[in-house]
Amino acid sequence: MRWQCHMNEPAPALAAEINAIREAYAALNRGDVLGFVSAFDPQIERIELFDFPAGSAYHGLEAVTQHISTGRATWAEGGCEPRRFIVAGNRVIVLIDVRVRLKNETQWRESRIADVYTFRNGKAIEFRTFGDERQAMDWAGVEASGQTVHTT
């Protein structure tokens, strides 16, 4: 279910960015990597947990696109489903249910992760993944800011 604004209510902070992220995950799930990275700034910085299989830091749209393409190519089926969006200043935290089966495996991999996007001028300039949702919220400063919560 999508969140909606009613007349006379102000638009939520970063509404366009949240829509772009929602569309990005839909693109990723159908194998459209270029659609996934379309909301990224050319100088995007991608930081993935170092305990993830390909965890590292990637700088620039070309490197990030290649990283995402390589990871997505391992999927046989499944996807990443955003279940909640939390806005904290210029950041959007996306709580995600991951359920994928890799091409060389018969078992499904299921987990909950949190991606944090930092935006400037409508484009994501930083994209971090956390294995722990609370850690992502703490890093993004949710406790210290007047956050707005959107639930999908």
pLDDT bin (cut points 50, 70, 90) of residue 12 is: low
Structure pTM? 0.85
Contact 145, 88 (CB under 8 A): yes
pLDDT bin (cut points 50, 70, 90) of residue 13 is: confident
Helix (H, G, I), strand (E, B) or coil at 86: strand
Give per-residue pLDDT as tens, 75-115: 999 999 999 999 999 999 999 999 999 999 999 999 999 99
| The predicted structure's pLDDT at residue 6 | 41
Contact 85, 96 (CB under 8 A): no
Structure tokens at 148: 């707005």
pLDDT bin (cut points 50, 70, 90) of residue 53 is: low
- Domains and their CATH numbers in the chain: 15-151 (3.10.450.50)
For residues 110-136, average pLDDT = 94
DSSP letters spanning 90-135: TEEEEEEEEEEEETT-SSEEEEEEEEEEEEETTEEEEEEEESSHHH
| The predicted structure's pLDDT at residue 48 | 85
